[in-house]
Each structure stands twice: as structure tokens, then as C-alpha cells.
A = this chain, B = another copy of it.
Amino acid sequence: MNIAIIGASGYTGLELIKILINHPKFNITYIANSTGEINVQELHPCLKDVINITVENADAKEVSKVADLAFLALPHKTSMAFAKELLKEGVKVVDLSADYRLELDTYEKHYCAHEDKENINDAVYGLPEYYKQNLKEAILVANPGCYPTASLLALLPFVDFIQEETPIFIDAKSGVSGAGKKLAETTHFCHINENIHAYNPLAHRHMPEIEEKVRLVKNKEFSINFVPHLIPVTRGMLVSVYATLKEEIDVESILEEAYKNSEFVRIRKTPVDIKSTAGTNFCDIFVKRNGKALFINSSIDNLLRGASSQAVVNANLMCGYEEGLGIPKIAYVP
């Protein structure tokens, strides 16, 4: 199947290209970027002698002539405008931005006015472990945020056993690639190196995304308190969920049961690290409790499971392929 990648200059665009080059079914026929017509090797010198394709200025009609599905790695707001056009042309869309992730109200409260009210309600949230059936029939998929992916995969199996009146805390640590390529004081090497700090504590836009999905999947309301950090690594994400159980239950069994059929969730017997998942689509999870105090610990590659490889998994499901077709499983360790 022919596919297009719209937005190729960022980290997630590059990861999409790298996965799709070797995918046994998907065939890249169109790459677009706001830089206009240059060779993709100029955007990403690491692709020299690997792929040779000219980048276009994005045009929905042109996409529809050469591709059946498009991955959108565009900024918020830009994305919904272009997705709308593509859907009108009959092109399936996997959108990596936040534009279709939330219910309309939540979106407009935390982002801006929505420009594609026609399609937002039909978007399927692309967390395969919880939305697989819907994904198989989707024409528009909202690829989850990186933090919500790791947080929800850790938290959802335990929601029924957690005290509803006590706050849930999520302490999350992300590699700097999660902040994107744009230049900022907070991505300067000398700021990040030998440092660590929280940012937007209890105020990050992924907090309502997690709350909403817990409510939609489990029909329960919780106070989710989310504190993200930047750590001095390029990629990888570690999430620690802290909650209070109703009773002193067997948390390992609950976790094993929840993911016994999941190809891309691995249950670990020791605390997870980010190196074992970096480079792959796996989410590793470890759980432990002390009395009623619950600690769930998950790890993903923020650019892959948190963005590009999960997008390709979603595309696989939308197109009737095996979930794991062409999806990276081999970590970059060491």
C-alpha cells in the first residue's frame, strides 16, 4: 500500500521514514515538508545512500493521487487543517499531533478552537491495547501523546482497584527529543547536561489527556497529578505511577492478566529501564506495592512507542495487516 509522510523534518518524521523504508507492505510514495523541494538527504544527512526521494510542498490532492494513507507529523492546528483536506480526498490519516486526541471540549480548553468539527468525533484514539477493534475500522486515527501512552498502559489495568478519592501521581521522565528540534534555552546542551528538572508540574497538557482516557476506557473519574521532567538523554521515557489501592491485592497477577495477549507490552520482574525499550515499540512494565501503596513503572521509546512506531502499528491495523508487521523490536542497547 502506498503511503505519504507529511512533515518530514522533525524527529518523528525521520523515525517514520526509517520504519517505513523497511516495511514489507507500506511503500513511501510521497514525502512533504515546509522546506519545499529538496532531497530528503538534505533534511537528514544520516539518510545519505539509504533513501533518495524529493520532498514536496504538501498538497492534499497530490497526496490522494499517489497514496492511500498519510502519516501527519505536523504541529498542532496545522495538522487538523490538512487532515480535513486529506479525508475529503479519501485518504486515510494517522495524525501524530494532538489535534484529534481529545473530546472537543477538552481540546478547546487546553489547545485552541478546533477547525475540523466534522471529523473529530470519528477519530479513534490510537492506543492499540485498548482500541484495537475500532482501529481496524478507522479512517482517522489520533496517535496518543508519548506521556499518555506510557502512563495509560501502566495505569489502566489497576484503575478498578485504586481508591477513587485519593490523588494519583505520575512522575514522568523524558529524553530531550520529546521537546522537538526547535531551539530553546531548555534544549541547549549546557542547560540539560548534568541536570534534571520538572517542567509544567501539575499543568502539562498531557494531564487532561490521561484523565479523559481513564474516564472513557474505565468510566471512572480520578484526580490525575502529572509531573514531567527533562532528563539528560536523547530518547526514552520512564513513567512512575503512584496510587493508593483499596485493598492489598496481588498486583503482579493483575498486570500479567491484563497484557497476556499483547505483543508489545512486556512484564518485567525488576524495575524497568529505558535502554531496553529505546529503539523499539515495546512498553515494559513493572509493578510493586507496599501495603496499599502502589508503584507502577513503565518505559517506552518516546519517539517510537510514543509516536512513530505506534503510528505504524495503527496503520497496520487500519489496513488489515498484522499489528507487528515491520515494527521495530530490537533495542539499541548498549
Interface centre among A198, A240, A334 (most CB of B within 10 A): A334
A225 to chain B, nearest CB (A): 4
Give the residues in chain B near A216, CB-CB below 8 Å. Answer: none
* Copies of this chain: 4
B223 and A273 form a contact (CB under 8 A): no
The A267-318 residues at the B interface (CB cut-off 8 A) are 268, 271-276, 278-279, 282, 288-293, 295, 297, 303
Q: Are B234 and A295 in contact (CB under 8 A)?
A: no
Contact of A273 among B177, B197, B238, B272 (CB under 8 A): B197
Q: Are B223 and A293 in contact (CB under 8 A)?
A: yes
Chain A residues within 8 Å of chain B by Cβ, number: 78
Q: Does A121 contact B (CB under 8 A)?
A: no
A14 to B276, CA, bound (A): 13
Considering only residues 246-285 of chain A, those with a C-beta below 8 Å from chain B are 263, 266, 268, 271-276, 278-279, 282
A167 interfacial by beta-carbon distance below 8 Å: yes
Contact with B along A229-244 (1 / 0, CB 8 A): 1011111101010101
Pair B188/A188 contact, Cβ less than 8 Å: yes
